[in-house]
Amino acid sequence: MTAMTDRSNGATVPRRRSAGAGRTAAAPAINGGWWKTLKLSTAMFLAVFALIALQLTFGRDPMLGTGRAGKEAERATVHHKLIVLRKVIIETQPAAPPAAPAGSGGTSVSQYSGTSAAAPAAAPTPMPAPAPAPTTSAS
Amino acid sequence: MKSIEIVVDPSQHVWWLASRASGVVALVLLTASVIIGLSIGGRFAQHVPKRLRPAMRAEPRLLTRAHEQTAVAALIAIGLHGVTLLGDGWLHPSPADIAVPLMIDYRPLFTGLGIVGGYILLALGLSYYFRQRIGIARWKRVHRFVIAGWAMSVLHTIGAGTDAAEGWLLWPVAVSSAVIALLYVARIAEVGINRRMPVAPSPPVAPSQQVAPSQQVAGTASD
């Protein structure tokens, strides 16, 4: 409650509370400073968050490829390894099982195809040796 | 094997990104608070730049308030840094992992330094509000050890921080660390000089022979 002072003409004028009345003149500055700090901190947080999110999105994050940077990174890396491994397996495995020599009987052929007439010449693998001509079993 | 550039969806790593961002903000605020704190009092306060003098006259405790506000904001950011780690889908830390030093498997030494440093900052920072009960002189002696908490935070950043090797973080950390080291050494030296040479009451000097306080200071870091 503010005190009232009397003017010489009898009019009363509310007296402003002094700083020594238990409330410092710097009180608004305290609140303003806290708000400024909060806003600045929030702005910094959002800026850094955006920066490292972009860094991660465009493949510049220091943790990429280490397995730390998410399951996508791990899956992609493992997938890539599987692709390479499959390629290695295909290129290094024997092209085709060796063809049965002529006269040895068609039983070996029949084991695969069930008929003596089936010839391994239909196999897609390139073989330097010519495919044996289908022969009837000579037993 | 040739590495392939991977495009990662950042929305899958919000907790991890939030922890990193809050850690960076905590370090920035803490560093600013320490620099302001080292500048308060002593001979540095007499060498306020001309640009700041009107603000200092209007708000004599401007630096003190800025020191307090940045320190409290840093403590909040440190808390956020730890809590957001709980949601990290890769690290999967438990509350004990982020609260107890050396419990977590990920770089336990440097992570532990960060946890201990955080506790030091929390205790010594909040002790400001209990300084009347502690005793002002005793509180001032204890508050100086906040620098240890700051140093632990820097080591935690370098040793366990994801972005420690990034230039945008490493250079500011290096420069600010050098500034803090210089300020700290200067303050220690000043305190040592004041203790060895107590000021004796000088005889009265005629007004025409009085020298301004700023001209009495020699060899300070701020000159």
Contacting B residues, span 124-163, partner chain A, CB-CB under 8 Å: 162-163
User: Position of tokens 């922890």?
Assistant: B19
Q: What is the DSSP string of B26-61?
A: HHHHHHHHHHHHHHSSTTGGG---GGGHHHHHH-TT
H-assigned helices in chain B: 14-39, 53-58, 62-85, 95-99, 108-126, 131-134, 136-143, 146-160, 167-196, 213-216
Q: Which residue has the higher pLDDT, B198 or B170?
A: B170
- What pLDDT is attached to residue B222? 39
Asked if residue B151 has pLDDT above 80, the reply is yes
Compute the count of residue pairs across chains A and B with CB atoms less than 8 Å apart. Answer: 91
- Position A95 scores a pLDDT of 65
Of residues A37, A56, A59, nearest to B70 (C-beta): A37
Q: Which of A58, A62, A80 is nearest residue B4 as measured by Cβ atoms?
A: A80
Which residue from B136, B135, B95 is spatially nearest to B115, judged by alpha carbons? B95
| Cross-strand bridge partners of residue A6 | A12
3-state secondary structure of A4: strand
Chain A residues with CB inside 8 Å of B66's CB?
A: 33
Dist. CA B45–CA A118, nearest whole Å: 101
Spatial neighbors of B134 by CB under 8 A, at least 6 apart, are: B127, B142
Contact assignment for A33 to B1 by CB distance below 8 Å: no
The pLDDT score that the predictor gives to residue B207 is: 63
Whether B4 sits inside 8 A of A37 (CB atoms) is no
- pLDDT at residue A43, as a whole number: 95
CB-hemisphere CA count at 13 Å for B61? 11
The crossing angle, in degrees rounded to 10, of helices B108-126 and B62-85 is: 140
Min Cα separation A102/chain B (Å): 45
Kindly report the average pLDDT of chain A as a whole number. 60
Are B21 and A64 within 8 A, CB to CB? no
Average model confidence (pLDDT) across chain B: 81
Nearest chain B alpha carbon to A82: B1
Query: Which residues, in sequence order, are CB contacts of B219 under 8 Å at separation 6+?
Result: none
> What region, left, alpha or beta, does residue B106 occupy, with left being phi > 0 and alpha being psi -120 to 50 degrees?
beta
Residue B115's pLDDT is what? 95
B77 contact A CB<8A: yes
pLDDT of residue B148 exceeding 90, the answer is: yes
Ramachandran region, residue A103 (left: φ > 0; alpha: ψ -120 to 50; beta: rest)? left
Contacts of B8 in chain A (CB under 8 A): 56-57, 59, 61, 64, 69-70, 72-73
* Record: contact A53-B10, CB cut-off 8 A: yes
| Sequence-ordered alpha helix ranges (H) in chain A | 27-57, 70-92, 107-113
Min Cα separation A92/chain B (Å): 18
Predicted confidence (pLDDT) per residue in A32-62, tens digit = 788 899 999 999 999 999 998 888 777 666 6
d(CA B142, CA B153): 18
Tell me the average pLDDT across B5-25: 82
With both helix axes pointing from N to C terminus, report the angle between B146-160 and B108-126 in degrees, rounded to the nearest 10: 150
What does the alpha-carbon distance between residue B72 and residue B76 come to, in Å, rounded to a whole number?
6
For residues B31 and B173, what is the distance between their CA atoms, to the nearest angstrom?
9
- The reply to whether A5 touches chain B by the CB within 8 Å rule is no
- Is the overall model pTM greater than 0.80, yes or no? no
- Of A8-12, B22-26, B159-163, minimum mean pLDDT range: A8-12
Q: Does B54 lie at the interface with A, CB-CB under 8 angstroms?
A: no
Q: Note the pLDDT tens digit of each residue in B89-145.
A: 888 888 999 999 988 888 889 999 999 999 999 999 999 999 899 999 999 889 989
- Identify which of A26, A33, A56 has the shortest CB distance to residue B69: A33
A112 pLDDT band, cuts 50/70/90, is very low
**Any CB–CB contact under 8 A between B65 and chain A?**
yes
Average pLDDT over residues A5-34: 55
